[in-house]
A and B are shown apart, each in its own frame.
Chain A
Amino acid sequence: DVQMTQSPSSLSASVGDRVTITCQASQDIITYLNWYQQKPGKAPKLLISAASNLESGVPPRFSGSGSGTFFTFTINGLQTEDSATYYCQRFDDLPRVTFGGGTKVEIK
């Protein structure tokens, strides 16, 4: 089964900072990767699909890139409302789904 390694598990940054989260797959998953944001007590929210496609209504400070086994998720200009946990999600054609372990983003 494909394993997803997400890092770091947590980070603390200041408003306006650039934040980068990575997700590594144990085998080639092409661009079959989505990113979600989850705030405490809430359901996850889809931000980016197919590695780099920004979902409608999602602020452009969020972006994603990568293919194959290595992917990055970036927040350019961190805002206070971005305090949340972020997850990568891998999928395949079946579909089978696997989530990364999550990255908790805190505001300094």
Chain B
Amino acid sequence: QVQLVQSETVVRKPGASVKVSCKTSGYSFTGYYIHWVRQAPGQGLEWMAWFNPDSGRAFYAQGFHGRITMTGDTSITTAYMELSGLTSDDTATYFCARDSGTNSRLDPWGQGTLVTVSS
């Protein structure tokens, strides 16, 4: 079945970068966009970006321009989200999700990766 498995919880210091991975299986990796969504503790969902594994193209939400980079490795069907210049406001659980290709249905989702930014 389709699965997205994310990397483990990480702690970073302010100003550092973090790279979260999203290992996919059960479908053609290059056939579907991957979206990244984050959720600060006790807060709602914030959409960050999508990544097209076939073309390598990405589109970022306005608030993340210049700090975020999406990449993918087709040989291991894994997508990556790298966020730089971390502040405490970036403390959140980061989710990847597959775009079904119709109506931007995000399904399924990864289990989430908690990124804590603390000195």
Contact = CB atoms under 8 A, between A and B. Distances in A.
Interface of A: 1, 32, 34, 36, 38, 43-46, 49-50, 53, 55, 85, 87, 89, 91, 94-102
Interface string B75-118: 00000000000000000000101010011111111111000000
A50 B103 CA distance: 6
B62 interface: yes
B110 A44 contact: no
Contact of A34 (B50, B106, B111): B106
B104 A46 contact: no
A55 B109 CA distance: 15
Given A49-B105, A96-B59, A43 B44 contact: no
B45 interface: yes
A46 B109 CA distance: 9
Given A1-B62, A43-B95, A94-B59, A99 B47 contact: yes
B105 A46 contact: yes
Nearest to B111: A43
Given A43-B111, A44-B109, A99 B45 contact: yes
A96 B63 CA distance: 13
Contacts of B61: 96
Interface of B: 33, 35, 37, 44-47, 50, 59, 61-62, 95, 97, 99, 102-112
A29 B73 CA distance: 34
A97 B97 CA distance: 12
Contacts of A1: 62
16 contacts: A32-B103, A32-B104, A34-B103, A44-B37, A44-B45, A46-B105, A49-B103, A53-B103, A89-B104, A94-B59, A95-B99, A96-B61, A97-B35, A97-B50, A99-B45, A100-B44
B40 to A, nearest CB: 12
B109 A43 contact: yes
B95 A87 contact: no
Contacts of B111: 43
B106 A46 contact: yes
A42 to B, nearest CB: 8
